[in-house]
């Protein structure tokens, strides 16, 4: 039997007990605010080369899809809930969520190295990815062959380049995380060199704003809150960097970014790109808040709650921690014994539940007001590295 939940006690709540596989599956109508079953989608993937779909209300696996080519690095459900994008080593695959077809409806294999992150534009007209080839790419989904329409290359020494094929270069910094701002115009990219790139996709890549908050640390995950006000980034040092996003004139941004880079980096570190800009041009600038130690070990993932009041961070320290976005204070810690690294995290639409995926091969559904594990999703035979969740209102 699993150990009791380890967590910080909540007012009016307490530490709940874990429901285990020894208990028969039960239909829990309380979770997800009584969202109809057919509107709740949960998919998981990992190192056992499978993708599993689950009935979230009962914890029962309803479908298993082989992903034979590689491990699953990331999953994302399309805005209409019809497609699941899965990325792995040298490929992106799109699966039909509602059908029973185990074969991908679209399969693109012409990519170098691992694809580490994937997401959709809110009308599903295009998709974006980031990977170890050092690029973030935009894919036109109106073309069934997954046509790459634009690309951003991280470039050596913190400098971007503007060539789609430059991903073949050995000196590009691998991309670990990429997210689209709610304005659907700015792509924010985190790389292993510790850089955060803010690229207005309407502009040339060399006009991107670049900040390096912690030289010598790798940006493992980034997240943007649904209101588009906050940006969070976690590193392999366990540090969380929080920013307030502001749209400003480019000359002012360059001055602030240079100052920020000088404060954080060594004297030899390069600052933001110095190409001439038009004074009237506006761009997104991340105004830094005070960084804090989210975990004492490797941080793996961060995600904002749909109501923008909380930030979840996960780590190799076997915990998921919840932080207030207002003052960055710790709300609670979620952990069970022997779950090992926690690779992925997602919130329910009402911000009352959190789902986690961990190296013990189990996905867990946590009820935040009580710190209780309400469901365990067991069936994978190796580490779980990714999950995708949608409960009718938010993915």
Q: How confident is the model at residue 258 (pLDDT cuts 50, 70, 90)?
A: low
Is the separation of the CB atoms in 393 and 351 below 8 Å?
no
Q: How confident is the model at residue 306 (pLDDT cuts 50, 70, 90)?
A: very high
Q: Decide which of 160 and 230 is more confident.
A: 230
Supply the pLDDT for residue 333.
97
User: Tens digit of pLDDT for each residue in 274-297?
Assistant: 444 444 578 899 999 999 999 999
Q: How confident is the model at residue 158 (pLDDT cuts 50, 70, 90)?
A: very low
Please say whether the structural domain 31-391 has been given the CATH code 2.130.10.10: yes
The three-class DSSP label of residue 205 is helix
Six-digit token pair at 145? 């062959």
Strands (E), 123-227: 126-131, 135-140, 147-153, 175-180, 186-191, 196-200, 209-211, 219-224
Q: How confident is the model at residue 67 (pLDDT cuts 50, 70, 90)?
A: very high
Supply the pLDDT for residue 251.
57
Q: What whole-number percentage of the chain has pLDDT above 90? A: 67
User: Tens digit of pLDDT for each residue in 92-117?
Assistant: 999 999 888 999 998 887 788 999 99
Output the CA–CA distances (angstroms, integers) from residue 190 to 10, 72, 109, 240, 366, in the order listed. Answer: 33, 19, 23, 13, 28
Q: How far apart are the two ends of the chain, measured CA to CA in Å? A: 31
pLDDT of residue 250 exceeding 80: no
User: Tens digit of pLDDT for each residue in 20-36?
Assistant: 444 444 546 566 555 66
Region 328-343: mean pLDDT is 94
Cα separation, 258 vs 260, whole angstroms: 5
Supply the pLDDT for residue 1.
32
């Amino acid at each position: 039997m699993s150990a009791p939940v380890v967590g910080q006690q909540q007012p009016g709540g307490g530490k709940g007990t874990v429901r285990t596989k020894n208990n028969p599956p039960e239909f829990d109508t309380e979770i997800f605010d009584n969202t109809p079953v057919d509107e709740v989608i949960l998919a998981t993937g990992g190192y056992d080369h499978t993708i599993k779909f689950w009935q979230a209300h009962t914890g029962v696996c309803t479908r298993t899809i082989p992903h034979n080519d590689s491990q699953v690095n990331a999953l994302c459900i399309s805005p209409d809930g019809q497609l699941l994008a899965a990325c792995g080593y040298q490929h992106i695959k799109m699966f039909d969520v509602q059908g029973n077809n185990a074969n991908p409806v679209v399969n693109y294999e012409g990519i170098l190295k691992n694809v580490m992150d994937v997401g959709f534009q809110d009308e599903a007209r295009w998709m974006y990815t980031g990977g170890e080839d050092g690029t973030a790419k935009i894919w036109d989904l109106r073309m069934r062959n997954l046509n790459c329409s634009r690309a951003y290359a991280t470039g050596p020494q913190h400098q971007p380049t503007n060539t789609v094929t430059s991903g073949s270069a050995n000196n590009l910094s691998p991309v670990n995380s990429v997210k689209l701002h709610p304005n659907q115009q700015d792509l924010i990219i985190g790389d292993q060199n510790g850089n955060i790139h803010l690229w207005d996709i309407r502009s040339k890549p060399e006009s991107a704003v670049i900040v390096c908050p912690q030289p010598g640390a790798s940006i493992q995950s980034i997240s943007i809150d649904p209101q588009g006000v906050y940006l969070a980034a976690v590193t392999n040092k366990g540090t969380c960097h929080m920013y307030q996003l502001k749209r400003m004139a480019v000359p002012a941004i360059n001055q602030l970014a240079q100052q920020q880079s000088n404060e954080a980096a060594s004297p030899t570190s390069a600052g933001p790109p110095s190409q001439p800009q038009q004074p009237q041009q506006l761009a997104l600038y991340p105004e830094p808040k005070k960084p804090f130690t989210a975990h004492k070990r490797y941080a793996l993932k961060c995600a904002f709650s749909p109501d923008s009041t909380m930030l979840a961070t996960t780590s190799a320290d076997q915990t998921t921690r919840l932080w207030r976005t207002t003052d960055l204070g710790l709300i609670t810690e979620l952990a069970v014994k022997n779950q090992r690294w926690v690779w992925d995290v997602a919130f329910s639409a009402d911000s009352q539940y959190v789902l986690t995926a961990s190296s013990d091969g189990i996905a867990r559904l946590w009820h935040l007001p009580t710190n209780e594990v309400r469901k365990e999703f067991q069936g994978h035979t190796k580490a779980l590295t990714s999950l995708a969740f949608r409960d009718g209102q938010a993915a």
